[in-house]
């Protein structure tokens, strides 16, 4: 089961990025009104339901409520905004990102 932690401010984002120097970070950017995003999130969570790894923290960003934070992610991590989108961050750098149907938990595990 994924223990999502919400990101709601640019300050929280900065703290999350800084924590990636100690542990891998995954950010899931989700549009609550998009059926594709909802389906991808559901599938991602189903694939990760038995995830017990202690070497990654999971963060969730509601794009509709916090678009400014999504814009900051794009700028700070030098990635194009997509929705839905997952970003794997290590040592302050986005080392992997995927969007839409390309989001696959098993592929992500290979990158960790």
Q: What is the pLDDT of residues 51-98, one digit of tens each?
A: 666 678 999 999 999 999 999 999 999 998 888 999 999 999 999 999
**Ranges of each domain in the chain:** 5-111
CATH superfamily of 5-111: Glutaredoxin (3.40.30.10)
Omega of the bond prior to 84 within 30 degrees of 0, cis? Answer: yes
Higher pLDDT, 34 or 55: 34
Q: For residue 105, what pLDDT is reported?
A: 82
Half-sphere exposure of 47 (CA within 13 A, CB side): 13
């Amino acid at each position: 089961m994924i223990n999502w932690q919400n990101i709601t401010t640019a300050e929280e984002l900065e703290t999350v990025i800084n924590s990636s120097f100690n542990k891998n970070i995954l950010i899931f950017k989700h549009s609550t009104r998009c059926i594709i995003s909802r389906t991808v999130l559901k599938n991602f969570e189903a694939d990760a339901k038995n995830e017990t790894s202690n070497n990654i923290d999971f963060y969730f960003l509601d794009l509709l409520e916090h678009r400014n934070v999504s814009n900051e992610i794009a700028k700070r991590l030098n990635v194009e905004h997509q929705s839905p989108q997952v970003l794997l961050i290590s040592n302050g750098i986005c080392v992997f990102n995927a969007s839409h149907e390309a989001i696959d938990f098993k592929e992500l595990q290979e990158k960790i």
